[in-house]
Amino acid sequence: MPIPSLPAEGGCRCGRVRLRISAKPLLTMACHCTGCQKMSSSAYSLSAAIPADGFEITKGEPVIGGLHGASKHYFCGYCMSWMFTRPEGLDWFVNLRPTMLDDPAWFTPFVETWTSEKLPWAETPALHSYAALPAFEEYDGLVAEYAKSQA
C-alpha cells in the first residue's frame, strides 16, 4: 500500500537517533543475501529507497557499522539498530530500513534480491524476484512500475 502520509517520522530501538522522510519511496525491497541475514539478525533485510533530499536525521548522530566499506551502513551507536544504508556511488537515494519508521505497516517489498542465498522457508510477497540483483538498466523500469502501483 502507498505510504499513508508525509513527512513520516522514525527512529532506532532506543530513540537516541530519530529521522524524518518527506518523499515517497522510489522502490521497496527485501534482500536475502547472507550479508543482510547477518546484519539484520534475521532472514532478510528490508529497504525503502528514499530520495536523498527527502531524508533527514532529526536527532542524534548515526555511526558507521557493517563492513565499513564503500557502501555505508548506518547504525545507532547506542542500541546498534541498523537504520539505513548509503550505497556506494548512488548518492541520490538512501536505503532506509522501513521498520525504523513509527508506522511501517504500509511497507511491502516490491522486489526481492539474492534469492539464491535465501533460507529455504523464507518467502516474501515481492512481485519481482532476482537470484542476485536486477541488471542496472532494469531499475528505471522497476521504479516506474512501483510508482504506478502506488498511485
Interface residues with Zn ion (CB under 5 A)?
Answer: 12, 14, 16, 31, 33, 36, 76, 78-79
H or E, element range at 10: strand 8-11
User: What SS3 class is residue 112?
Assistant: strand
Nearer to Zn ion, 122 or 147 (CB): 122
DSSP state string for 47-104: EEEEEGGGEEEEES--EEETT-SSSEEEE-TTT--EEEEE-TT-TTEEEE-GGGBS--
Angstrom distance (rounded) from CA 92 to CA 105: 25
Contacts of 3 (CB under 8 A, 6+ apart): 24, 25, 106, 150
What is the distance between the alpha carbons of residues 73 and 65, in angstroms, rounded to a whole number?
A: 5
Q: Which is nearer to Zn ion, 40 or 150 (CB)?
A: 40
- Toward Zn ion, which CB reaches closer, 21 or 33? 33
Q: Which triple of cell numbers denotes residue 15?
A: 530513540
CB of 36 to Zn ion, least distance (A): 3
* Comparison of 8 and 36: residue with beta carbon closer to Zn ion: 36
Which of residues 4 and 89 has its CB atom nearest to Zn ion in the complex? 89
